[in-house]
Structure 1
């Protein structure tokens, strides 16, 4: 009886430890990082550092991530969680089955160049010939680097139209001799107006979701 209680306590501790890794998994194994960085670029490009607040951006990024990852999570539930709950497989088998859909998602979003970089840095004795030969510990950092690169590329495209507005306003104020007037006071309303007129949030959301396909 004491042995059973001890095993149960160990399982509870392992479960609690697994829950603490959920935020790290959200950042490193899904599209959350890309989405949050792009949303931050939007706020910076418009010139409103506190609107929307950080809590709102994180909330938007979280639910967009759930939307993007829904097919992957559904596959994990059907192939790993449901059989485990029914007692057809053990925990180790469930973990291996849950790993495959995540690996497939990360492979689709990871650049070959980044993957080759971390394969080379891992210094494995045998070079992997297929995706199955690449360990997850190599795939995850390659995926993170690819996500950062993609996010900054999207952010650069977002900055361009707002940069043009800033340049036009600054040049106009200089030509009028209004040097003491900060250009941001004039350009900010125009940037907000442009973003609203082109339905910026819908465009950005559409681009972000499509970037994962």
Structure 2
């Protein structure tokens, strides 16, 4: 009980500190003007010049990008395949919520950063840093940032899915990768990732399914039909997974699947 209270205190402490900071900022807001300190204000003002309208639209655009950033991560990176395969591993072992969902998502996120590191490095060198140094404008930076992502998606997309989407969205058949719009490439890439992830999940399920069938047959032959086979087979699944170093095999296969 004491341990639970200690953990609860650790969780509530950051919230209490944040609440105290907000309260202090509210109560001292009037004194900030007297002392000449900078303050932060929120409000809506009339836009009288094109520059003010442009700034407001840029802020709205940034807020929109931040809100849909998780979806962008899912659509244009390797995160989809990794998280689905790791979810299949957990379901195949029948360990319910072990490892927890937070662990699966965290591992998938870091593996995604590992796989995407060459692409992200290229974006940083060719688009972000020149834009931060005011060498290129926003339009050029966006074009240079999209190009490495398109190269990655083209290296992983399957021809069948890309042909399906281009036939639906385009009037003429593209002759080059540059002719394929990004909005057509992204769903084709997503379909390819889903297909590969389910193929890998099927292969992962096979050895665990064999163990379930063997245990069920033995229990039925012994007349223990009322005993759930999952209770007996789970320790053998865990033992098999540990003996073959399952996590290393799964993670290694996932990373190698994104190779050229």
TM-score by length of 1: 0.96
User: C-alpha separation between the residues in 2 aligned to 1:125 and 1:15?
Assistant: 33
Match of 1:205 in 2: 251
1:67-86 superposed matches below 5 A: 67-86=114-133
User: C-alpha separation between the residues in 1 aligned to 2:151 and 2:220?
Assistant: 54
User: C-alpha separation between the residues in 2 aligned to 1:11 and 1:41?
Assistant: 41
User: C-alpha separation between the residues in 2 aligned to 1:205 and 1:61?
Assistant: 10
Match of 1:45 in 2: 92
Select 1:141's aligned residue among 187, 192, 205: 187
User: C-alpha separation between the residues in 1 aligned to 2:185 and 2:215?
Assistant: 46
Match of 1:9 in 2: 56
For residue 55 of structure 1, report the CA deviation from its aligned partner: 1.1
Match of 1:128 in 2: 174
1:67-125 Cα shifts (integer Å, max 9, x gaps):
01000000011111011111111101111111110000001110011100001111x23
The alignment of Structure 1 onto Structure 2 pairs a total of residues equal to 212
For residue 2 of structure 1, report the CA deviation from its aligned partner: 5.6
1:121-154 Cα shifts (integer Å, max 9, x gaps):
11x2322101110001110110000000000011
For residue 32 of structure 1, report the CA deviation from its aligned partner: 0.5
Larger Rg over CA atoms: 2
Asked if 1:161 is matched to 2:207, the reply is yes
Match of 1:194 in 2: 240
List runs of 5+ in structure 2 lacking aligned partners: 1-46
1:94-109 superposed matches below 5 A: 94-109=141-156
Q: CA RMSD in A?
A: 1.2
Structure 1 residue runs of 4+, over 6 Å off?
A: none
For residue 8 of structure 1, report the CA deviation from its aligned partner: 2.6
User: C-alpha separation between the residues in 2 aligned to 1:161 and 1:176?
Assistant: 23
List runs of 5+ in structure 1 lacking aligned partners: none
User: C-alpha separation between the residues in 2 aligned to 1:23 and 1:72?
Assistant: 18
For residue 5 of structure 1, report the CA deviation from its aligned partner: 4.2
TM-score by length of 2: 0.79
1:38-82 Cα shifts (integer Å, max 9, x gaps):
010000000012101111111111111000100000001111101
